């Protein structure tokens, strides 16, 4: 069972945006503080620490480091405050976590991308609000043609499989 109450509490206490700058709703802590908190949470429940780490290390870090100011305001702030939860979609059935072998594509249609593919083993999958999806946008560039797209739960065409509550490692 997804630990919704515990994750909500972690968000309220600032644990879902630990290293995010306070101007974006984060705690502004250093890496050592983050690692110590992860170790302590892991001692009690390693699955909860994975939920926490995905939101912090993959989703918040990616948005703060590479996102536009508009994306930071729209997505990073509620994620760092623990108001929303993030997921990082890399793994695929045939490729595992090898991004260079993935089959998911995103075709630029001008004012939107047409995203096609299947991702699996997604921590926070069915419970997340914001998804960072790794996709091939320029196949001819091979590994240099891989990009990240931001999806929101409920977007047209977005579906989540039956196993929505992946926990653990």
DSSP string, the chain: ---HHHHHHHHHTTTTSTTS-GGGT-----HHHHHHHHHHHHHH-HHHHHHHHIIIIIIIHHHHHH--HHHIIIIIHHHHTTSS-EEEE--BTTTBT-GGG---EEEE-SSSEEEE----S-TTGGG-SEEEEEEES-GGGGGGGEEEEEEETT-TT----S-------
Q: Which pLDDT value is given to residue 86?
A: 97
The average pLDDT across 3-9 equals 92
Check: CB of residue 145 under 8 Å from CB of residue 163. Answer: no
Give the tens place of pLDDT for each residue, 16-54.
Answer: 999 999 999 999 999 999 999 999 999 999 989 999 999
Please report which confidence band the pLDDT of residue 166 belongs to, taking 50, 70 and 90 as the band edges: low
Percent with pLDDT over 90 in the chain: 72
Nearest Cα to Cα of residue 131 among 79, 53, 92, 73: 79
Give the tens place of pLDDT for each residue, 89-130.
Answer: 999 988 888 888 889 999 999 999 999 999 988 888 889 999
The average pLDDT across 141-165 equals 84
């Amino acid at each position: 069972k997804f630990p919704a109450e515990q994750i909500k509490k972690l968000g309220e206490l600032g644990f879902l945006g630990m290293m995010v700058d306070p101007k974006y709703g984060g705690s502004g802590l250093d890496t050592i503080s983050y690692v110590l908190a992860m170790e302590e949470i892991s001692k009690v429940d390693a699955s909860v620490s994975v939920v926490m780490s995905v939101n912090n290390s993959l989703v918040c870090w990616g948005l703060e480091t590479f996102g536009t100011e508009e994306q930071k305001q729209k997505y990073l702030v509620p994620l760092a405050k623990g108001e929303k939860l993030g997921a990082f979609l890399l793994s695929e059935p045939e490729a595992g976590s090898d991004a260079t072998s993935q089959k998911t594509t995103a075709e630029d249609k001008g004012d939107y991308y047409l995203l096609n593919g299947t991702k699996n083993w997604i921590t926070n999958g069915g419970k997340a609000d914001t998804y960072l999806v790794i996709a091939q946008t320029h196949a001819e560039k091979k590994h240099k043609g891989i990009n990240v797209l931001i999806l929101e739960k409920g977007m047209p065409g977005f579906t989540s499989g039956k196993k929505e509550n992946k926990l653990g490692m």
